Chain A
Amino acid sequence: MTAAPLLTVEGLTLDFGRHRAVDGLSFTIARGETLALVGESGSGKSATALAIMRLIERDGGTIAGGRILLAGDPPTDLAALPDPAMRRIRGNRISMIFQEPMTALNPVMPLGRQVEEVLRLHDGLDAAAARAAARAAFERVRIPEAARRLDQFPHELSGGLRQRVMIAMALACRPELLIADEPTTALDVTTQAEILALIRQLQAELGMSVLFITHDMGVVAEIARHMVVLRHGRKEEDGPVAEVFARPRAAYTRMLMAAAPRLGAGAPAAPQPLPPPVLEAEGLAVRFPLGRSLIPSQARFHHAVNGVSLTVRRGETLGLVGESGCGKSTVARALLRLIEPDEGSVRLLGTELVGLGSGALRALRRQAQIVFQDPFASLNPRLPVADLVTEPAAIHGTVPPAERRALAVELLGRVGLEPAAADRYPHQFSGGQRQRICIARALSVRPALIVADEPVSALDVSVARQITDLMARLQAEDGLAFLFISHDIAVVERVSHRIAVMYAGQIVETGPTGAVLRNPLHPYTRRLLAAVPVPDPAGHGRRPALPPAPPHPHLLLRRGEAPDRWPLVEAAPGHFVAQGQPAEGGAGAAAQAPAPRQRTPATA
């Protein structure tokens, strides 16, 4: 490290009440350099960021010891700085972007005003100059149609654009240090790739330092030169990223790296010979009416799912991948008739579900259970775990009341929890344990199929690994079929025998996991794969540009209109790819220029 340090943290100790969140942490950030602060939840990485911003007192924390020295003559100790002086540094010399672009912007203030506010505060610009500067800030972060966006509100923008606005706001006063607290965790993988590239470019343009907080080893390798690994508030290891990746010294670092899903690490082999299908869907379509119109022909529909066909066999996991808004969760709900499909058929164990009466449907629902993403929201906090995990069985009458407890203990044992867990309440468990409880609940009725909608997306990597291992074990034991829905293609690879890639409400490519990932045929699959961060610092900065998103039909249509459907063509045994205007054959072909989106009225 040759450059002079911009920020030096010495023996930083942070308390929340009597809980010590960070204990004696020291690191330095050089000028123009990116330092990654890596750790799982509870490691104290966000607390450290908030301490540097001196926002930690707001959240009930205190700086119990240590110094935070910001370069200068003489250096300033931020840990001891009074608030008025600190306010001149916040948003000016040090600024911060947060994880949730959806909630981090004021919903009732125009975006331009939110950026102008910083400029007027720190640079003393007048209204007209601030507006011009805000527009320039938007253009710097490559927000299209910057002038128009100034007067828009946060809800009118996608997650990726909102995070760009956040970055524009943070960089408006050209800070010396940008703190990015998991800035891409809430974003799709392709959006993440774009935001990471943007932060790298801006860093080069502005010469600023970046403190990048993340749990994702792939992101670390992509963005940082140096890294600090944190666990329970203590530093486990630090050093140049290349060295730590090549020769991790701490056992914890090695565990983190092993747990991180790695694209190309191999998928489970498909069961042979082909077992019988558990779930078969054909031509599934779901559309949502948008608002109401007095004139029926003017009513508009959002076509969320458009002609999806898939099969899940006994003992098999089908991975459904795609970005937020592609319709994958809608597919999951339509398959179980939690929402009514508008078209198509769904057969569960040979019985057609669409049009089935409510009594017969309820009996059949026993065979298909669902596990949701958020293990905090999907468990009733007022019921003991014994009641929670046996509730489906009680509803379906498969367990006499006297035996519920025994069943609960058995189920908890199967998902690796102690019998004593039965008498406790959800809030007494960690996220991973709660997801185990959710799985135990699904198992209570001995279903043939479990639909898991982003089951590990809210969990730490090491915990996520345990959950996917658990699912694989349950599958081997009972021949369970899984429909595993995720935006994280590397996790999907680890668990899925076959994979289906969804884009704009349709499946654009499907086949054995290995075949699809090694030889992606559809441009969208290639884009998705190219966006996945690679936990290999050797590729640092040499990543090729992300291919553009292929065009797709309009999804917002009048009554009677329907989007074009791409026919699936078998390219190799069991490997299908959508044909039609966006598709083109051959791996590694150059990305095509985005064509204008087309809208095609149905032949009504």
Chain B
Amino acid sequence: MLRYALRTLARMAVTFLVIVTLVFFATRISGNPLDFILADGLTSEDRAILIRYYELDRSWWHQYLAFLRGFWDGQFGLSFIERRPVGTIVLERLWPTAQLLLSAMALTLALALPLGILAAMHRDRWIGSAVMTLAFLGYAVPNFVLAVFLILIFAYWLNWLPVVGNATAWHFILPTLTLASGLVAALTRFTRNAMLDVLGQDFMRTARAKGLSERAVILRHGLRNAGITILSVVGLQVAGLAAAGSVVVESIFAWPGIGELLVRSAIRRDYPVLQFGVLTVAFAVIVINALIDLAYAWADPRLRQRGA
């Protein structure tokens, strides 16, 4: 287990370095930030000063090394626009995003696991088809379309729920629903398939031959085994989907989270914020994946002992 953990850690470090590099060059390719700032009424002298200050006249290679050095020293730079340290800007956005993701995740697990199991148990009956049709709809409807409908119905016509910001618990309902819809669809389908695999296994027949009730067979023997496969997908796909979905959802509902910050910084070509924001998200995704990897290895006794 320890060796497995060390290997996971090493893999994390390499992945992160690759992402840092990609992000750095991707932001450079996307255009010059000063074109945007110039529109705010900078003179060409101001522009020259800024270029020198941010070392934009040096080679990309030099900028890259300086960027890495800054990273090492914990100096992530100042926002071009807000003139504040990017660390502060990004960190104050972190918690609202985490809140939104956690509530969407909780809703997803609470809905998708029972629905997936139900669909697997009754796959040839109407209830199974109904669940799968719903899941298909959730897949097919993009979350920004769903968001528009939710806003129209609950905010505009009924005037029940707020849609801007994260001030109260009521503010959570619409963004959470929007974000969770795609996740529920993905996880329901996956749970169903994982469960179908398990239902055909020999040990399920053994469990029934013991005289266990169908409920105990499914929950105690089936879900335990399917859960290991489901766990891996929660880490890889659902976490990724959630991160991507939060960018859209936060923008629509003006949620003061990291996704909304990224969109705004990209539009304004605020490199330092964009870079640090993307890296923070990447770091979070890598850490979550690694944790789930470890949980996966721990949950499966066959893996737990091999790495020991």
Give the interface of A toward B (CB within 8 A).
Answer: 53, 55, 58, 87-92, 95-96, 98, 100, 103-109, 117-118, 121-122, 153, 155-156, 166, 169, 291
Which residues from chain B contact A89 at a C-beta distance below 8 Å?
A: 211
Q: Are A103 and B201 in contact (CB under 8 A)?
A: yes
Which residues from chain B contact A91 at a C-beta distance below 8 Å?
A: 209-212
B74 within 8 A of A: no
Q: Are B206 and A105 in contact (CB under 8 A)?
A: yes
Q: Are B225 and A108 in contact (CB under 8 A)?
A: yes
B44 within 8 A of A: no
Instruction: Kindly state the separation between the CA atoms of A88 and B212 in the bound complex, as whole angstroms.
Output: 9
Q: Are A122 and B228 in contact (CB under 8 A)?
A: no
Type the 1/0 row for B202-216, where 1 means its CB is closer than 8 Å to any CB of A: 110111111111000
Per CB-CB distance, the 4 closest pairs between chain A and chain B, nearest first, are: A90-B211, A91-B210, A91-B211, A103-B202
Type the 1/0 row for B273-304, where 1 means its CB is closer than 8 Å to any CB of A: 00000000000000000000000000111100
Q: Are B211 and A87 in contact (CB under 8 A)?
A: yes
> Which listed residue (A103, A121, A156) contacts B211, Cβ 8 A?
A121
14 new A-B contacts at CB < 8 Å, known A108-B299, A109-B224:
A55-B209, A87-B211, A89-B211, A90-B208, A91-B211, A98-B206, A100-B202, A104-B202, A104-B203, A104-B205, A106-B203, A106-B207, A109-B220, A117-B212
> Which listed residue (A88, A108, A155, A169) contacts B224, Cβ 8 A?
A108
In the complex, which residues 206-249 of chain B have their Cβ closer than 8 Å to any Cβ of chain A?
A: 206-213, 220-221, 224-225, 228
Type the 1/0 row for B50-63, where 1 means its CB is closer than 8 Å to any CB of A: 00000000000000
Which residues from chain B contact A58 at a C-beta distance below 8 Å?
A: 205, 208
B83 within 8 A of A: no
Main secondary structure of the interface of B (DSSP, over half): helix
Q: Are A107 and B212 in contact (CB under 8 A)?
A: no
Which residues from chain A contact B228 at a C-beta distance below 8 Å?
A: 108
Q: Are A291 and B203 in contact (CB under 8 A)?
A: no
Which residues from chain B contact A169 at a C-beta distance below 8 Å?
A: 206, 210
Instruction: Kindly state the separation between the CA atoms of A90 and B206 in the bound complex, as whole angstroms.
Output: 10
> Which listed residue (A98, A109, A121, A156) contacts B221, Cβ 8 A?
A109
Q: Are B305 and A156 in contact (CB under 8 A)?
A: yes
> Which listed residue (A87, A92, A108) contacts B300, Cβ 8 A?
A108
Task: Known contacts A106-B224, A108-B224; decide if A291 and B306 are in contact (CB<8 Å).
Answer: yes
Instruction: Kindly state the separation between the CA atoms of A170 and B206 in the bound complex, as whole angstroms.
Output: 9
Which residues from chain A contact B301 at a C-beta distance below 8 Å?
A: 107-108, 153, 155
Q: Are A92 and B209 in contact (CB under 8 A)?
A: no
Which residues from chain B contact A153 at a C-beta distance below 8 Å?
A: 301-302, 305
B222 nearest CB across to chain A (Å):
9
Using CB atoms, name the residue of chain A closest to B209: A96
Using CB atoms, name the residue of chain B closest to A105: B203
Using CB atoms, name the residue of chain A closest to B199: A58
Which residues from chain B contact A107 at a C-beta distance below 8 Å?
A: 203, 225, 301-302
B253 nearest CB across to chain A (Å):
41
Q: Are B206 and A122 in contact (CB under 8 A)?
A: no
Q: Are A90 and B209 in contact (CB under 8 A)?
A: yes
Using CB atoms, name the residue of chain A closest to B212: A121
Instruction: Kindly state the separation between the CA atoms of A117 and B221 in the bound complex, as whole angstroms.
Output: 11
**What are 11 A-to-B residue pairs whose CB atoms are below 8 Å?**
A55-B209, A87-B213, A90-B210, A91-B209, A91-B211, A95-B209, A106-B207, A121-B210, A121-B212, A155-B301, A169-B206
Which residues from chain A contact B224 at a C-beta distance below 8 Å?
A: 106, 108-109
Instruction: Kindly state the separation between the CA atoms of A108 and B305 in the bound complex, as whole angstroms.
Output: 12
Instruction: Kindly state the separation between the CA atoms of A155 and B205 in the bound complex, as whole angstroms.
Output: 18
Instruction: Kindly state the separation between the CA atoms of A480 and B207 in the bound complex, as whole angstroms.
Output: 49
A578 nearest CB across to chain B (Å):
33
Instruction: Kindly state the separation between the CA atoms of A92 and B212 in the bound complex, as whole angstroms.
Output: 11
Using CB atoms, name the residue of chain A closest to B201: A103
Which residues from chain A contact B225 at a C-beta distance below 8 Å?
A: 106-108
> Which listed residue (A55, A88, A92, A122) contacts B205, Cβ 8 A?
A55
Instruction: Kindly state the separation between the CA atoms of A178 and B194 in the bound complex, as whole angstroms.
Output: 32
Using CB atoms, name the residue of chain B closest to A152: B301
Instruction: Kindly state the separation between the CA atoms of A62 and B57 in the bound complex, as whole angstroms.
Output: 81
Q: Are A118 and B203 in contact (CB under 8 A)?
A: no
A78 nearest CB across to chain B (Å):
13
Task: Known contacts A107-B301, A155-B301; decide if A122 and B201 are in contact (CB<8 Å).
Answer: no
A48 nearest CB across to chain B (Å):
15
Which residues from chain B contact A122 at a C-beta distance below 8 Å?
A: 211
Which residues from chain B contact A53 at a C-beta distance below 8 Å?
A: 209
Which residues from chain A contact B205 at a C-beta distance below 8 Å?
A: 55, 58, 98, 104
Which residues from chain A contact B210 at a C-beta distance below 8 Å?
A: 90-91, 95, 117-118, 121, 169
Which residues from chain A contact B211 at a C-beta distance below 8 Å?
A: 87-92, 118, 121-122
A272 nearest CB across to chain B (Å):
50
Quick one: which of A96, A100, A106, A118 has the most chain B CB within 10 A? A106
